[in-house]
Structure 1
Amino acid sequence: MNTDYFAELGRLLAARGMPEREVSATVADLTGYLAESGSADAREEFGAPDVFADRLTQERTAEPPGAGAETWKWTADIYSDRLLLNQYGAEGWEVESIDFVGRFVCRRPDAAMRWEYRRETAHGVQEREALVAELEPDGWEPCGRWLHMTYLKRPAAASAGPAAELAATPARPGRHLFFSAKYRGLLAVFAISTALLAAGFGSGLVDPSRPGFCLGMLGAVPVGSLLGWYGVKRDIARGVESR
């Protein structure tokens, strides 16, 4: 069923003028996203293919920022994204979307104002629509999503009033990648584990010829991956934050 969905989506994107190479890359990115999100139904996740194709092509052909507007793309892990979004939102950066590699696509016009952000969890189109409908009366609007996380923004004037105006704007950050201490720690654990395993192979302490070794590895790898993914999902649900 998903194969038919993506074939139809590719046809619709091409019919709307998207170049063939970009169509292939877009479909590949969406297929990978669906696999990572754990969703089994592309239609439930993305909506009707014709409506989704309209949205993708509209985003692609959107008018560029006005004269004098700054642009900036950056990414962060799940432990620091909200902290940084609100830090840079207070400096006038408005998130317009999240691209296919997970970067926040931001702009800041000359007459900038403060923005505030929040992140919510929603699975599928219906759940996201219900979430947006619930938060819209308080001025929140969606500005992007990644996996099952939906990001929302609103002008800080909704909560701070005139204090949301910016008299001056700091310089655009020189960085584009932000990893928190917790995320760097997880990367370090993974790197050390891999190095120890490689050292075990090199020294002979780990012997692939032993009976049951391959079977044990085949079991350990998916179990370890599932435990890691469960831990990340739990941290998202709990709203764990770290600089």
Structure 2
Amino acid sequence: MTTAYFTELSRLLTERGMPAPQVAATVADLEGYLAESGSTDAHEEFGAPDVFADRLTRGRAAEPPVTGQETWKWTADIYTDRRLLNEHGAQGWEVERVDPLGRFVCRRPDAAMRWEYRRETARGAKEREAQLAALAPDGWEPCGRWLHITYYKRPAWASAGPAAALAAPPPAPARTMFFSAKFRALVAVFVVCVTLLVILFGFGLVDLDGPWACVRLLGAAVVGLALGWFGVNRDLARGTESR
């Protein structure tokens, strides 16, 4: 029964325009979720396959053919990324991936439509799989990952319907870096601390010849890094935002 359900779902997703690799990945995630939940009835868990396929591909069939497109790469910190993703998504920018430098790689076809974004954190493949299984029914799909942060996108057709189409999108922003005041302040504090250490070492005000001097210095560095990492993760969990 379960095998027949996912076979039918795969066929329907393919008919609705979902690429074959994404079909396979989506079905594998759903099968894994079903196995972990202990359920044996996919129909009861996800609903009728045709309705579920519509939800997973909502907006895909309505996307216009790509006749030409703009590309744009930009970056932001954790205090501005969600707000800016949705602002730029409302201008028709679709994130394709996050590159190794942490930049959002975007495209915008000539006939653009609005996109919606969200940010989630997950540690490990299993947690990400469960997260995707929970979000996929509402049309969300992953569009990039940075450390333990995963970004999701969906066409605004899922919530706005035909109003998601853009008749005349604005020009691409001239900026490529968007950092908040809080992020700049944290960087400034780090630079000041490093500068002070260099000055102390340069003038011999820190004795590195003592038996425990290096150990204490290394311990202070580790504690500082740990506190910084804790603060970043706390702000991620709280969803802290800034300008």
Q: 2:228 is aligned with what amino acid? A: G
TM-score normalised by structure 1 residue count: 0.70
Does 1:113 find its partner at 2:113?
yes
Kindly state the Cα deviation for residue 198 of structure 1 after the two structures are TM-superposed.
1.5
Q: 1:74 is aligned with what amino acid? A: W
Match of 2:240 in 1: 240
Match of 2:104 in 1: 104
Q: How many residues align?
A: 179
Deviates further, 222-231 or 199-208: 199-208
Match of 1:173 in 2: 173
Kindly state the Cα deviation for residue 222 of structure 1 after the two structures are TM-superposed.
1.2
Kindly state the Cα deviation for residue 202 of structure 1 after the two structures are TM-superposed.
2.7
C-alpha distance in 1 between matches for 2:114 and 2:66 = 18
Identity of matched residues, %: 68
Kindly state the Cα deviation for residue 66 of structure 1 after the two structures are TM-superposed.
4.7
Kindly state the Cα deviation for residue 174 of structure 1 after the two structures are TM-superposed.
1.6
**Alpha-carbon contact 2:66-2:111 (below 8 Å) kept:** no
CA displacement, residues 140-186 of structure 1 (integer Å, 9 cap, x when unaligned): 11111111111101111211223222121111112222211111110
- SS of the residue aligned with 1:206? coil
Deviates further, 205-214 or 133-142: 205-214
Match of 1:222 in 2: 222
Match of 2:85 in 1: 85
Match of 1:127 in 2: 127
CA RMSD between the two structures: 1.6
CA displacement, residues 21-47 of structure 1 (integer Å, 9 cap, x when unaligned): xxxxxxxxxxxxxxxxxxxxxxxxxxx
- SS of the residue aligned with 2:231? helix
Match of 1:154 in 2: 154
C-alpha distance in 1 between matches for 2:202 and 2:120 = 45
Q: Which residues of structure 2 form unaligned runs of 5+?
A: 1-64
C-alpha distance in 1 between matches for 2:225 and 2:139 = 38
Structure with greater Cα Rg: 2
Match of 1:5 in 2: none
C-alpha distance in 2 between matches for 1:160 and 1:75 = 27
C-alpha distance in 2 between matches for 1:177 and 1:71 = 15
Match of 1:57 in 2: none
Q: 1:163 is aligned with what amino acid? A: A
Match of 1:4 in 2: none
C-alpha distance in 2 between matches for 1:149 and 1:211 = 41
Runs of 4+ in 1 over 3 A off after TM superposition: none
Q: 1:230 is aligned with what amino acid? A: F
- SS of the residue aligned with 1:87? helix
TM-score normalised by structure 2 residue count: 0.70
Match of 1:163 in 2: 163
Match of 2:212 in 1: 212
C-alpha distance in 2 between matches for 1:165 and 1:73 = 22
Residues 8-87 of structure 1 aligned to structure 2 (within 5 Å): 66-87=66-87
- SS of the residue aligned with 2:86? helix
Kindly state the Cα deviation for residue 67 of structure 1 after the two structures are TM-superposed.
4.0
C-alpha distance in 2 between matches for 1:224 and 1:214 = 15
